[in-house]
Chain A
Amino acid sequence: MTEALISVRDLSIRYGGPTGPAAVDGVSFDVNPGEIVALVGESGSGKSSVSLAIMSQLPDSVHVGGHILFEGHDLAACGRREMEDIRGNRIGMIFQEPMTCLNPVLSIARQMTEGLVRHRAMSRSAARTRALQALADVGIPEPERVMSSFPHELSGGMRQRVMIAAALTLEPSLLIADEPTTALDVTVQAQVLDLLVEIRNRTGDGVLLITHDIGVVAEVADRVVVMQGGRVVEHGPWEQVIRAPREAYTKALIGAHMSLEEALTEGGLHG
């Protein structure tokens, strides 16, 4: 049995301090190498709080209980420098809105190479070569042109690819993708999902995919963690959770999606 990349054990998150109400309560799951684990839930389910806790991005006033182990090391015991080394370097992060994490006044080249120079002590030219390769790997047709562009000059789908490429340049072992396709058009979403699956197949990375879309989960996840009201209500291999859900909440999520999907297969209700 291989060691889990990340193990979340009995995680609780209280925004009002230790005695406040729990936004996340008793959440446990693992992400193994080469595995796409989907954390799925509706707004307010606590799924994004879990991803912020993994990246140690919650403010100090927030009380975090339980353990998060990255490759066996308890992240709570890591110092600031150690955490900085893990974050972005060994855990790559992809967000919903690339514009909020790409710097609007720096060229793509500068942003793509920054991490390599900082975390890997690479020379600018070696970093540039690696960045060009990463852009080509995510299917960007003219990497040279994109490198000299600024974020606002690229389309939404292109920006999302650039962010994924930037995360990949450091060859992280775990990718956390928080609603990576929610802001994208549906045809671009399909391309980004294919890309995530392709990266997993090629690199053997683990992927934690946080999404509200059970349709996306059904298409790409190996394992599914369903959250509601801060708790895990169901957890298992995708075949089991999607095809034979046990919990009423999972059934309701799938049912709501299916009823919309049926409108597509039956040619609409007003046909």
Chain B
Amino acid sequence: MADQTPAPAIEVRDLTKSFRVNGREVHALNGVSISVGHAETLGIVGESGSGKSTLGRIVVGLETMSSGEILHEGTAITALGRTERNARLAKCQMIFQDPYASLNPRMPIGRQIHETLRAHGSRQLGQNLATAAALLERVGLPPDAAGRYPHEFSGGQRQRIAIARAISTSPSVIVADEAVSALDVSIREQILDLMAELKGTTSYFFISHDMAAVAKFCDRIAVMHKGRVVETGTTSQIIADPQDPYTQSLLEAVPRIGRRR
């Protein structure tokens, strides 16, 4: 690594999040500490209710934390004024599971990428549309894609659009929350390959319940269970030598071609 900066791209320290449900306090996150380095892909695996999505939403600023600290390149986000905090959060993008729900159905996708670029200070429509066309080509969509609407695309193509939009602002961090989970397995592979190809200098939080997808895409893995991180390590450590019983049960449960029940 030629990287000179010692501070990780994002560091999360002792993060907690509680919700009140029917008057009862529910702890979604219970003291989570993890970090992701520059250009590193961190997989966050766990089952529904483990807190992995809440963590991702807090990282990009869609949700607030109850306590703890998030550091962007060593600077605590809570210590910043609003302008600077927004500027930092603008460098974080998110890819959701269902691109159909996160794209505007009534706007051609070129315009939607323009909107994203405009929100980040680039106001020239013509220039933004040219950028959009180039991005859509990079994610493997046909040349006329920019003028078409979301419903004209398949699920896999829509996820390509969501990726094009997420990388349009050259973010430093992308949180991908179950970004490939809803796709057919052959398409899932193509999208994972595309994300790997376009990774560049961006750091990834790759949130998934799919151990295989995480193993394919990520440098390191954090395993979450009931609002806590139960194990972290390099992908090969976690896969080859899982220490926590919960990690072992997750790996054991993945359906495999060479096994019968």
Residues of A within 8 A of B (CB): 42-43, 156, 185-190, 193-194, 197, 212-216, 218-220, 242, 252-254, 256-261, 263-264, 266-271
Q: Is the CB of B257 within 8 A of A186?
A: no
Q: Are B259 and A270 in contact (CB under 8 A)?
A: no
Q: A43-B155, A260-B212 are in contact. Are A212 and B184 (CB under 8 A)?
A: yes
> Known interface pairs A214-B257, A264-B251, A271-B236. Does A186 touch B186 (Cβ–Cβ under 8 Å)?
no
Taking a contact as CB atoms under 8 Å apart, the answer to whether A254 and B215 are in contact is: no
Within the complex, which residue of A42, A219, A260, A271 is in contact with B213, where a contact is CB–CB below 8 Å? A260
Picked from B47, B211, B219, B234, the residue with its CB within 8 Å of the CB of A264 is B211
The reply on B253 being an interface residue by CB < 8 A is: yes
B184 touches A260 (CB 8 A): no
Given contacts A187-B47, A215-B254, A260-B185, contact A268 B261 (CB under 8 A): no
A197 and chain B: residue at smallest CB distance: B261
Contacting pair A186 B209 (CB below 8 A)? yes
Residue in contact with A257 in the complex, picked from B47, B185, B211, B252, CB distance below 8 Å: B185
Is B98 part of the binding interface, using a Cβ–Cβ cutoff of 8 Å? Answer: no
Interface of B, helix, strand, loop or mixed by DSSP: helix
When the two chains form their complex, are residues A261 and B261 in contact, meaning their CB atoms are under 8 A apart? no
Contact A269 B260 (CB under 8 A): no
Q: In the complex the two chains form, what is the Cα distance from A216 to B256 in whole Å? A: 7
A220–B259 Cα gap in the complex (Å)?
9
18 A–B contacts, CB within 8 A, in A order: A42-B185, A43-B184, A185-B48, A185-B209, A186-B209, A186-B250, A187-B47, A188-B47, A189-B255, A256-B185, A260-B185, A260-B212, A263-B215, A264-B212, A267-B215, A270-B41, A270-B218, A271-B239
**A252 CA / B186 CA spacing, docked (Å):** 8
The 5 lowest CB-CB distance pairs between A and B, nearest first, are A215-B255, A271-B236, A268-B235, A267-B236, A260-B212
Asked if A185 contacts B218 (CB within 8 A), the reply is no
Give the distance in Å from the alpha carbon of A259 to the alpha carbon of B217 in the complex. 12
B residues apposed to A, CB below 8 Å: 41, 47-48, 155, 184-186, 188-189, 209-213, 215-216, 218-219, 234-237, 239-240, 249-261
Whole-angstrom distance between the alpha carbons of A155 and B249 in the complex?
19
How far, in Å, is A234 (CB) from chain B's closest CB? 15
Q: Do A253 and B255 have beta carbons less than 8 Å apart?
A: no
Q: How far is the CA of A29 from the CA of B32 in the complex (A)?
A: 52
Residues of B within 8 A of A43 (CB): 155, 184
A32 to B105, CA, bound (A): 46
| Cβ–Cβ < 8 Å partners of B237 in chain A | 267
| Distance A35 CA – B23 CA, assembled complex (angstroms) | 49
What is the CA–CA distance of A220 and B261 in the complex, to the nearest angstrom?
A: 6
Residue of B nearest to A42 (CB): B184
Distance (whole angstroms) from the CB of B219 to the closest CB of chain A: 5
A256 contacts which chain B residues (CB < 8 A)?
185-186, 188-189
Cα of A248 to Cα of B158 in the assembled complex, Å:
26
Known contacts A187-B253, A212-B185, A270-B219: A261-B235 contact under CB 8 Å: no
Interface pair B185/A253, CB less than 8 Å apart: yes
Which chain A residue shows the least CB distance to B196?
A269
Interface centre among A42, A256, A270, A271 (most CB of B within 10 A): A270
Q: Which residue of B lies closest to A242 (CB)?
A: B257
